[in-house]
A and B are shown apart, each in its own frame.
Chain A
Amino acid sequence: GQSLEQPSEVTAVEGAIVQINCTYQTSGFYGLSWYQQHDGGAPTFLSYNGLDGLEETGRFSSFLSRSDSYGYLLLQELQMKDSASYFCAADNTNAGKSTFGDGTTLTVKP
């Protein structure tokens, strides 16, 4: 089977940096994706790591270590609008389907 683990909740203050970790156990692992979902909305794609290392997109960065089956999403200069759920998803080599973690609810406080 496939499973991903991420913390259920994280709280941080505006302007701070927060890291959301994700460990995975999957067969046919191809890469790790991250999605943001605001309450009641649809997930939106944030980033993808197919190779080990850090990918940076504006205030968001994502990291992957295949040898450790581990990745993280780093959010810098937190804003109130960053309050949302964040999901890591393991892409499978079969048909590009993804297995999602249960999500991390990030609360940004003033």
Chain B
Amino acid sequence: DGGITQSPKYLFRKEGQNVTLSCEQNLNHDAMYWYRQDPGQGLRLIYYSQIVNDFQKGDIAEGYSVSREKKESFPLTVTSAQKNPTAFYLCASSPGQGSGYTFGSGTRLTVV
């Protein structure tokens, strides 16, 4: 079955540490997205990519980085510059405008 796989499901980060969240899709979608969700709030866009080797900053890109070397993969790195990284991170893909997003099951990141 096609879908989006995010790993790990839970991740703990120490202060000053960089961590990378994995996102893989086998839906053959061109566009991929990373959103952050804080408790009781909506989703805020971190980065998005319409095509391989190209990506754009979203509304809250500071302290994050991404790469898009393959169509299937869109990993997100949370750097030490992100001062409040504890959140639920959601990766999504879409075949095109008006088709909605397919989301992965998410990664819960906690700073310890």
Contact = CB atoms under 8 A, between A and B. Distances in A.
B4 to A, nearest CB: 9
Contacts of B48: 95, 97
B41 A42 contact: no
Contacts of B45: 97-99
B96 A96 contact: yes
A31 B101 CA distance: 13
B96 A43 contact: no
A42 B105 contact: yes
A27 to B, nearest CB: 13
Q: Pick the most buried of B45, B50, B98: most chain A CB atoms within 10 A of its CB.
A: B98
Contact of A43 (B31, B58, B90, B97): B90
A17 B101 CA distance: 26
B99 interface: yes
A31 B103 CA distance: 19
Interface in B25-53: 31, 33, 35, 40-45, 48, 50
B41 A102 contact: yes
A30 B101 CA distance: 15
Contact of A42 (B33, B58, B90, B97): B90
Contacts of B103: 42-44
Interface residues of B, number: 27
Contacts of B100: 33, 35, 45, 48
Interface string B84-112: 00000010001011111111111000000
Nearest to B94: A96
Interface in A65-107: 87, 89, 91, 93, 95-103
B82 interface: no
A100 B102 CA distance: 15
B90 to A, nearest CB: 6
Interface of A: 4, 30-31, 33, 35, 41-45, 48, 50, 87, 89, 91, 93, 95-103
Given A41-B106, A89-B43, A96-B94, 4 more contacts: A43-B101, A96-B97, A100-B44, A101-B42
